[in-house]
Chain A
């Protein structure tokens, strides 16, 4: 019942650290389906409860783009300003594949530990 504030903050911190690690991988995976618009990525991430607000995504997308993993193309939109549609670069594809491997390994390891507990 009464988790003290300090512990609550600690949990939140750890949670956000955990999310942070997988968020990049999730964004890359979502982008690997082809050309996607930022708010499509957002709705998926929101469904999965990985992020709460849209603002979180934009700095991430920009960083991934600038490190050469993502690229984008402008497309006219009938719902306002032109949109950026993101897709993976070749490098990004390789990167995602490697992350997928790591994730699977991690998943197995973590499952092993939590199940045998």
Chain B
């Protein structure tokens, strides 16, 4: 039974990967032109400067996606390349390949997103649980409205405000980049602090904006859980307050909360992309922005695909972890 559940989840993951690749293939066909030619045209319009290597790229492109080949052939070639993670060259940054550029940017984003998501989820969930518990100190009530407000504001806006307050008005933290321009990456403490201080503002924006959401959600789940019959029985059993709070309420409320996490990943990523853009943080988001500016279609394709697959994978992991938390799932068929 458990195997069937995992198998289904993996299948969905593969479906997502396939869907991403297919989208990547068909969407540009919408406009009827190929991106390399478009770039060529654009460069020509700008006064004759032709991007180096563009001729070579056109050749490679035609080889793979030549319009003389039947559509299904192109499609298969595309799928094949994608499976090999060959995203072609970056149009604007030839001879660097898309793969290279993505590989450089990914660690920054994973670092930022990984830490902030875990932090805000843990913090928010615990805060939300406390807020729902009647035994919580009264002053905690006042924490709610600011959390609500911050949850409603999109990340990047919060980022803008924070940037102004903490980087401009009071030059506390650096506002741009992953580390001070020109610094040489070493494993020294100084460099590490440099990286961290540059990451603080973007991280703060994300954490502040999302913690509220988790707290509110958890509070809601807790309120529902606290109304359940088994909590009443737990109290009738004469259990201590902390026991009921943790073993009976938290333990059950965390289940839908985790589901919410899986569903929110996509949203968090979208928000993070914009935050990176505002702060020039050299992650996937900023790379995407740059690609859009430069009309570097292959880079855009590569990034979108990578992100979709990464998210699908993360969701897969969460889906597989879930039955471990909720014993009802591995035994029941999908309802």
Decide if A and B are genuine partners: no
